[in-house]
């Protein structure tokens, strides 16, 4: 996975979105997030710029890494047509990946995956003046790029807290939990999750906190 393959995948996905949702072309939106892997942020920004140049609103988690579940959650909450998460999940640190979610918040499956793959094959040539051009991301007046981190983080934790059926019991329990971040992006979100339930703060493995 490199800048070219990210651009090619994004161009194909973008064209398929435009074709599939022709009746919504004036209100198309996608969400894009990334983890702490090498070049994840750069890959996410390359993809975001292409969508913005095509007039599609991009909810780009640009200010921080996010956990993968934030992407399908945002797709549903903000009524996006698709979501992209740049991550290789549990795979070795040298790997990276490009997860795609559809408007229903689920990862793409057959036959949609094959349709998008075909669209990628039809859009391999990087688009002139758009590919590798990140100028639109620097445009403070652009209404096509926004970072939803604060809104989505609060909404996610609010929804999570509704799944807690015994808050008083949780708050008074003497149980202690150890959390092992394994150098992923979960530490700050795990802390908020424990508070949402509300358990005592977890005990992190300090050597694994840095992503």
Residues catalogued as catalytic = 89
Q: How many CA atoms lie within 13 A of 82 on its CB side?
A: 25
First-to-last alpha carbon distance for the chain, in angstroms, is 20
Q: How many CA atoms lie within 13 A of 174 on its CB side?
A: 0
Structure-block tokens of residue 183? 């150098």
User: Helix %, strand %, coil % for the chain, to 5?
Assistant: 40, 15, 45
Structure-block tokens of residue 90? 């549990």
Which of 209, 150, 158, 149 shows the shortest CA–CA distance to 181?
Answer: 209
According to DSSP, the β-strands at 82-86 and 98-102 are antiparallel
Question: Is the sign of the CA dihedral 78, 81, 86, 89 positive or negative?
Answer: positive
């Amino acid at each position: 996975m490199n800048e070219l393959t990210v651009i090619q995948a994004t161009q194909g996905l973008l064209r398929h979105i435009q074709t599939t949702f022709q009746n919504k072309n004036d209100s198309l939106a996608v969400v894009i997030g990334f983890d702490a892997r090498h070049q994840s942020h750069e890959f996410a920004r390359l993809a975001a710029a292409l969508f913005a140049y095509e007039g599609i609103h991009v909810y780009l988690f640009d200010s921080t890494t996010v956990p993968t579940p934030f992407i399908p959650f945002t797709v549903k909450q903000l009524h996006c047509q698709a979501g992209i998460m740049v991550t290789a999940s549990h795979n070795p640190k040298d790997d990276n990946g490009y997860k795609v979610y559809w408007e229903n918040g689920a990862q793409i499956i057959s036959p949609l995956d094959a349709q998008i793959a075909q669209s990628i094959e039809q859009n391999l040539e990087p688009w002139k003046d758009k590919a590798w051009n990140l100028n639109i991301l620097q445009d403070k007046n652009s209404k096509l790029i926004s970072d939803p981190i604060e809104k989505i983080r609060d909404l996610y934790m609010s929804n999570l807290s509704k799944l807690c059926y015994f808050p008083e019991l949780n708050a008074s329990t003497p149980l202690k939990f150890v959390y092992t971040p394994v150098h992923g992006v979960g530490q700050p979100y795990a802390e908020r999750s424990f508070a949402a339930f509300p358990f005592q703060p977890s005990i992190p493995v300090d050597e694994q906190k840095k992503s």
